[in-house]
Amino acid sequence: MNEEVGLQPYLMLGALLFVCGVVCMATKRNAIGVLIGVELVLNGANINLVAFARFNPVFEIEGMVFSLMVIVLAAGEAAVALAIVLNFYNNHMTVDVDTAEELKG
Amino acid sequence: MESFLFYVIAGVTGLCAIATVVTHNIVRAATWLLFTLTGTSAIFFLLGADLVGATQLLVYVGGTLVLVVFGVMLTAQGPFISMKTSSAEWAISATVGLVLLVVLVLGVMSLPQSGLRRPPSPDTADTDLVDKAMQTTNLNNNDAATAPYSAVIGEGFLGVPVGPPHIERPDGAPRVVRASYLLPFEIVSVHLLVVLIGAAYLARAKRRRGASS
Amino acid sequence: MASPLFADTSFVWFVALAVIAAGALIGFMLVSAIFSVWLERKVAGRIQDRLGPTRVGGKFGWLQTLADGMKLLIKEDIIPDAADHMLFRIGPYIALVGSFMGFLALPFGLGVVAMDMNVAVFFMLAAMSSEVFGIILIGYGSGSKWSLFGGMREAAQMVSYEIPMALCVIVPVVVAGSMNLSQIAIQQSGGLWNWYVFHDPFTFGAFWTYFTCAMASCKRAPFDLAEAESELVAGFHTEYSGFRWLAIFMAEYGSMVAVSGIASMMFLGGWSTGLPVEFATLFGGFETLQFTIGGTIVDLGMGFGNTINVIVFIFKCWFLVFIMMWVRWTLPRLRIDQVMMTCLKYLVPISCVLLMGVSLWQLLLPFWLNDVCRWLIFGLSILGLAWFLRTIVTFASSKPGEGMPGMWRTTGLPGYQGAKQTP
């Protein structure tokens, strides 16, 4: 119970979150579901960054600063994405991404 | 203790992430995302990154997720709450996801275990320079629980070069450099201002399609 | 090499300590909630010129809350048909957990803290901001549009008021130089004049602004549109009864105590009584009173000193909660647009000005001028407090019908026959 957890379990958790986010982006038909997938991807990447910051002494501060930047930028990106989704909903009365095909062909 | 806590928190986070993907009700997906984000914040606290963990809670859970749920509420009329995907799409996505997961896990497992504890000492660097640099590092104690990361990160954002030293090896003599983070801080501040204005403009109240303008 | 976070402690001892700390914090939160419910009803009664609970448990109704709790526990568990069952069930507990997490970093005495973090204030604000999602789930999960409206209004209000709250919290952090709440409290020890509320005009303003934002963030009147009894039945928790309703209210009173804890820690000196003596170090340090359990040294003298500290701090928290209740039963309710305008048009600019002001104050003013201003503000505050107490005593000891300025007397309209016409 008292042994140390190495770097690899954290990276595998990050990979799991990343893959869940990718599958979420691919399968959800609701536009906000796609946004939820994007958040999962960014969280997986953040776990990777902070794990490397903890286990690699050279990367100590940079990992944390990098993940702070990612968190802030993700918040901004979620705001703009939601504004776009709301515009789409106001124009088409639906949030189904399968119906967003006016630019096709 | 750390391994017990890690396996509990990572298990809960992973299960909630999978539940986010699997559920077809969008409000429940947002709820599972809440638990995933809180679990991620707990992982950050476990890794000793207090500031990042608290920022994750404040910005992601208390900000971004509330924004997502507001978006869900504004667009969640009856038929849009649960939209099912066809099984063919599920099969393809799951296959792609599994392949990606296998590739990532293989990449993780191939990391060399030895070189991660200390950076490899440069051969041609001046050892006195390295020792002097290591002595004047801001984080003298290696204890993750009590290292004053928030003060150091704050100094870095103000422009003071902080952090463990990097040995730069140009062709001539090696130099010890540290990084300051003033420029990323300013860029992100301007970026947030642009996002604020852009989102407010994009989401302004407009007439619905079909009404005469 | 073992992890640096948990070195030198065995697994069982660590889990036992964690359970004891969490149990103590939950116990404090529940006792505060029980006491606050009784206090609210008594304060409401007295302000409305009636007595409040007087039957259960003696003349003052001490056990009223226990009777209420027992009633709520045996109520029927009703879930509306249109409700999302899972979200309806877990919503109150998310709010409760979010409210409880804030207590993890709150120090009650010198070293009496569950988790001594370097980012304690930041963590408390962050943990309590996750309560918003619980409110949204409560509003949405009820399946009725009134609850949804109340929940959305409440979420918008809580999220908006986090901004001036965080800006006002940064003001004493700038003065103290650290986000560590224990450090902030230690720096305010050594006398009533060291408290940050008297430090400069900007922290003085920050205290009142923070208290207003805290009241709005806890959805207390005059900002309680979300549970507006006269408009939305009971707002976002209309469909809740029984133990789930109790959980929602424990979360609300828990957040009230937590934000009062932050206010007393950052502005009112934390656990210091105002006397220039620190009780924990006064009684601590004697080897005769120390013994060792499981690797940690237990100092009984310091424990006795810290007991005084904890009692003083809890008294300060409950006093600020009492002031919140006093304001609730005195002022009328604001509309939702007035609530948002107060935040965006008044409190955010005021907080920004306070933050800029305190930063310039710390950088530019020489020390002697800082001391002069501190003593000036301290003196003026003591005089103001004395005048306020005198006003209260004068009104309390006057006969009914005279002394209190009322609408009828000032307008001269015929109607209220009871007041004497004083010249």
pLDDT tens-digit readout, A28-45: 988 999 999 999 999 999
Among residues of chain C, what percentage have pLDDT more than 70?
89
Domain-wise residue ranges, chain A: 30-92
CA dihedral (C25, C30, C33, C36) positive or negative: negative
- Tell me the backbone φ, ψ of residue C298, rounded to 5 degrees: -105, 125
- The answer for residues whose C-beta is within 8 angstroms of residue C36's C-beta and 6 or more apart is C253, C256, C257, C318, C321, C325
Q: For B72, which of A3, A32, A74 is closest by C-beta distance?
A: A32
- Strand C296-299 versus strand C290-293 pairing type: antiparallel
- The answer for residues whose C-beta is within 8 angstroms of residue B66's C-beta and 6 or more apart is C132, C133, C136, C155, C159
pLDDT tens-digit readout, C384-405: 999 999 988 887 777 766 655 5
Contact C3 A1 (CB under 8 A): no
- The answer for residues whose C-beta is within 8 angstroms of residue C250's C-beta and 6 or more apart is C29, C30, C33, C96, C99
Q: Letter for the amino acid at C185?
A: A
- Among the listed residues C124, C135, C117, C120, the one whose alpha carbon sits nearest the alpha carbon of residue C102: C124
Contact A40 B43 (CB under 8 A): no
How many C-beta atoms lie closer than 10 Å to residue B78's C-beta?
6
How many C-beta atoms lie closer than 10 Å to residue C420's C-beta?
9
Contact C6 A1 (CB under 8 A): no
CA distance C178 to C151: 35
Residues of C with CB under 8 A from a CB of B: 3-6, 9, 11, 14, 84, 86-87, 90, 94, 117-119, 122-123, 125-127, 129-130, 132-133, 136-137, 140, 148, 152, 155, 159, 162, 178-179
pLDDT of residue C400: 65
Burial of C366 (0-12, 13-18, 19+ CB in 10 A): exposed
Which DSSP string do the residues of B141-174 spell out, in sequence order?
A: ---TTT--HHHHHHHHHHT--EEEEEEE--SSS-
* Cross-strand partners of B209: B211
Residue B118, both tokens? 């200390």
Q: Letter for the amino acid at C54?
A: T
Residues of B in contact with A58 (CB under 8 A): 119, 164, 166
Q: Which of residues 3-62 of A touch C (CB under 8 A)?
A: 3-5
How many C-beta atoms lie closer than 10 Å to residue B57's C-beta?
28
Give per-residue burial for C323-361: e unless 16+ CB within 10 Å, then b.
ebbeebeeeebbebeebbebbeeebbebbeebbebbeeb
Burial of C80 (0-12, 13-18, 19+ CB in 10 A): middle
Report the residue of A2, A18, A25, A30 to disrupt the B interface, i.e. the one with the largest count of B CBs within 10 Å: A30
Domain-wise residue ranges, chain B: 1-83, 123-205
pLDDT tens-digit readout, C346-378: 999 999 999 999 999 999 988 888 889 989 999
Q: From residue C11, how far is each of B97, C172, C185 by CA, in Å?
A: 37, 38, 32
Coil, strand or helix at C50: coil
CA distance A54 to A45: 14
Q: Which residue bears the tokens 């006398």?
A: C191
Q: How many residues in chain B?
A: 213
Question: Poorest-confidence range of C149-153, C280-284, C331-335?
Answer: C280-284
pLDDT tens-digit readout, C65-98: 888 888 988 988 888 888 888 899 999 999 999 9
CA distance C235 to C108: 34
DSSP character at residue C397:
T
Determine the distance from the C-alpha atom of residue A54 to the mean position of all C-alpha atoms in its chain, rounded to a whole number. Answer: 21
The answer to whether B44 and A43 are in contact (CB under 8 A) is: no
- Among the listed residues C79, C33, C74, C23, the one whose alpha carbon sits nearest the alpha carbon of residue C251: C33
Q: From residue C365, how far is each of A90, C200, C376 by CA, in Å?
A: 54, 11, 15
pLDDT tens-digit readout, B180-209: 899 999 999 999 999 999 988 887 776 555
Q: Does B176 touch chain C (CB under 8 A)?
A: no
CA distance B32 to B23: 9
Q: Which fold has domain B1-83?
A: Four Helix Bundle (Hemerythrin (Met), subunit A) (1.20.120)
- The answer for residues whose C-beta is within 8 angstroms of residue B187's C-beta and 6 or more apart is none
- Among the listed residues C162, C160, C166, C103, the one whose alpha carbon sits nearest the alpha carbon of residue C317: C103
Helix (H) or strand (E) holding B176: strand B175-179
Chains that touch A (3 or more CB pairs under 8 A): B, C
* Separation in Å, CA of B172 to nearest CA in chain A: 22
Report the residue of B16, B34, B41, B68 to disrupt the A interface, i.e. the one with the largest count of A CBs within 10 Å: B68
Nearest 5 degrees, angle CA B41-CA B154-CA A10? 30
Residue in A with minimal Cα distance to B69: A32
How many C-beta atoms lie closer than 10 Å to residue A39's C-beta?
26
* Separation in Å, CA of C351 to nearest CA in chain B: 19
Residue B124 predicted with pLDDT over 70: no
* Separation in Å, CA of B80 to nearest CA in chain A: 7
Q: Which long-range contacts (CB under 8 A, 24 or more apart) does B5-13 make?
A: B5/B46, B6/A5, B6/A9, B6/A10, B6/B43, B6/B46, B9/B39, B9/B42, B9/B43, B9/B46, B10/A9, B10/A13, B10/B39, B10/B43, B12/B39, B13/A13, B13/A17, B13/B39, B13/B40, B13/B42, B13/B43
pLDDT tens-digit readout, C120-147: 999 999 999 999 999 999 988 888 887 8
Contact A40 B20 (CB under 8 A): yes
pLDDT of residue C162: 93
Mean residue pLDDT of chain C comes to: 85
DSSP character at residue C6:
G
* Separation in Å, CA of C147 to nearest CA in chain B: 13
Max Cα separation, chain B?
A: 78
Residue B119 predicted with pLDDT over 70: no
